[in-house]
């Protein structure tokens, strides 16, 4: 497994997670029809990205999974830290 490829894929997985998170957070403020259409489009895009990654090499898949799994807890920790600092 190429380490650099896995690290780049982990960064990409993290970016995809944060982009999807921000998109869904933004869509939650929309009216129900726009929200539903936006969620469907977001889901289709995520499925396409995951499908493309699944076709790629093993190191890319492992890196993407590692990035996507590690990002949510780190993101929550950073949000709590920012919230505490702002209080």
Which residue ranges of the chain lie beneath pLDDT 70? Answer: 1, 59, 86-87
**How far is Cα 62 from Cα 11, in angstroms, rounded to an integer?**
12
The model's pLDDT over 27-49, given as tens digits with 9 standing for 90+, comes to 999 999 999 999 889 888 888 88
Check if the beta carbon of residue 8 is closer than 8 Å to that of residue 61. Answer: no
* Spans of all domains in the chain: 3-86
The rounded Cα 83 to chain-centroid distance in angstroms is 22
Tokens encoding 23: 């998109």
pTM of the model: 0.66
């Amino acid at each position: 497994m190429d380490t650099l490829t896995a690290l780049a894929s982990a960064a990409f997985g993290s970016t995809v997670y944060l982009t999807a998170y921000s998109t869904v957070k933004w869509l939650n403020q929309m009216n129900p029809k726009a929200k539903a259409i936006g969620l469907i489009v977001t889901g289709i895009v995520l499925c396409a990205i995951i499908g493309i990654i699944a076709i790629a090499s093993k190191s890319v898949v492992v890196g993407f999974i590692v990035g996507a799994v590690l990002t949510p807890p780190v993101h929550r920790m950073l949000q709590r830290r920012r919230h505490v600092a702002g209080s």
